[in-house]
C-alpha cells in the first residue's frame, strides 16, 4: 500500500507516518528528514537546501523529485511507503505520478490532515525529537512517560529543529497555502483524496486513518 499524508507543517504527518511504519511495516519517506540528513552530512544538496529551509521556503522541485525518485527505487519501498512532506507542489505531484507509472506502482490513498491553522504555531514551537531514535514529542501534547527519557529507546538527549520558531512558521504556512494546497483538487479529481480530523487527539487521528485504510 502506498500513501501520501498531506497537511500543513505541524499537522501531525510525521507522528502518524511513524505509527503506520511501526504498526503496518510501511516505510516512512520524510523529505524533511532526508534534507536534514543532507544538511548534517554537508553534501552539495545539503549546502543548497540549508538557507532555503532556515527561511521556511521550499527547496527546488528538481532536487526534491530526484531525491524521492532515488529513494522510492530502493528495494525496501516494495512493501509500501508513506510519503510525509512530498509532494508539496503541483510539479512534484505530476512528477510523482510519472515516476510511479514508470515503476508500475500506484497511490492507494492521499490522506489530508485537516487542521485549524491557529493551532499550528503552538504545535511547532513545542515540538522536539529524541536525538538517538528520532521519536517525536511535544512540550504539552506528547510528553515522554518519564520526564527527560525517551519512551522508545531510553535516550536522554533531545533536539529541536532550527526552523521550528514562530517567525519561520509564518513563511512555511504561506508556502503551504500558495504552493501545496492547490494540489488537493488534483488528488480529489483522481478520487484518491480522503480527509481526517487532524485536530483530534493523536490516537483518534490514527484510528481515523486506520478506517480509511481498511
Contacts with Zn ion, residue ranges (CB under 5 A): 130, 132-133, 135, 150, 152-153, 155
Phi, psi of 107 (to 5 degrees): -90, 130
Give me the 25-54 binding string for ligand ADP, x by CB under 6 A, dash otherwise: ------xx--x----------------xx-
Euclidean distance between CA atoms 5 and 194, whole angstroms: 10
Euclidean distance between CA atoms 115 and 54, whole angstroms: 24
Taking the complex as a whole, the smallest distance from the CB of residue 135 to ligand ADP amounts, in Å, to 10
* CA pseudo-torsion sign 164, 175, 177, 188: negative
Q: Mind telling me the catalytic residues? A: 13, 88, 127, 161, 172
Q: What is the DSSP letter of 168?
A: H
Taking the complex as a whole, the smallest distance from the CB of residue 117 to ligand ADP amounts, in Å, to 13
Dihedral of the CA atoms 35, 37, 42, 47 (nearest 10)? 10
Of the candidate spans 98-106, 138-146, 147-155, 182-190, the one that interacts with ligand ADP by CB under 6 A turns out to be 138-146
Taking the complex as a whole, the smallest distance from the CB of residue 80 to ligand ADP amounts, in Å, to 19
Binds ligand ADP by CB under 6 A, chosen from 111, 127, 173, 208: 127
For Zn ion, give the closer residue by CB, 132 or 161: 132
For Zn ion, give the closer residue by CB, 66 or 133: 133
Instruction: Rule CB under 6 A: say whether 158 interacts with ligand ADP.
Output: no
Euclidean distance between CA atoms 149 and 153, whole angstroms: 8
Within a 10 A sphere around the Cβ of 46, how many other Cβ atoms? 17
Binds ligand ADP by CB under 6 A, chosen from 28, 110, 130, 172: 172
Residue that is written with C-alpha cell 484518491 in the block? 192
DSSP-derived pairing of the beta strands 127-130 and 136-138: antiparallel
Maximal CA-CA distance, the chain:
48
Residue nearest to ligand ADP (CB): 32
**Which residues contact ligand ADP by CB under 6 A?**
7, 9-15, 31-32, 35, 52-53, 56-59, 64, 85-86, 88, 92, 123, 126-127, 136-138, 141-142, 172, 201-202, 205
Amino acid at each position: 500500500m502506498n500513501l501520501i499524508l498531506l497537511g500543513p507543517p505541524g499537522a501531525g504527518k510525521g507522528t502518524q507516518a511513524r505509527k503506520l511504519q511501526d504498526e503496518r511495516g510501511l516505510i516512512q519517506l520524510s523529505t524533511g528528514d532526508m534534507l536534514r540528513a543532507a544538511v548534517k552530512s554537508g553534501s552539495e544538496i545539503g549546502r543548497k537546501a540549508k538557507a532555503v529551509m532556515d527561511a521556511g521556503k521550499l527547496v527546488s522541485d528538481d532536487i526534491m523529485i530526484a531525491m524521492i525518485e532515488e529513494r522510492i527505487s530502493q528495494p525496501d519501498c516494495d512493501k509500501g511507503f508513506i510519503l510525509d512532506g512530498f509532494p508539496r507542489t503541483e510539479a512534484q505531484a505530476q512528477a510523482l505520478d510519472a515516476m510511479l507509472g514508470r515503476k508500475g506502482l500506484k497511490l492507494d490513498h492521499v490522506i489530508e490532515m485537516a487542521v485549524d491553522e491557529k493551532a499550528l504555531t503552538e504545535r511547532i514551537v513545542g515540538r522536539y525529537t529524541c536525538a538517538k531514535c528520532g521519536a517525536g514529542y511535544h512540550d504539552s501534547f506528547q510528553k515522554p512517560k518519564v520526564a527527560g527519557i525517551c519512551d522508545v529507546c531510553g535516550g536522554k538527549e533531545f533536539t529541536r529543529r532550527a526552523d521550528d520558531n514562530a517567525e519561520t512558521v509564518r513563511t512555511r504556512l504561506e508556502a503551504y497555502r500558495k504552493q501545496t494546497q492547490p494540489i488537493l483538487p488534483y488528488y480529489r479529481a483522481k478520487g484518491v483524496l480522503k480527509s481526517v480530523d487532524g485536530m483530534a487527539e493523536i490516537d483518534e487521528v490514527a484510528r481515523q486513518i486506520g478506517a480509511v485504510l481498511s
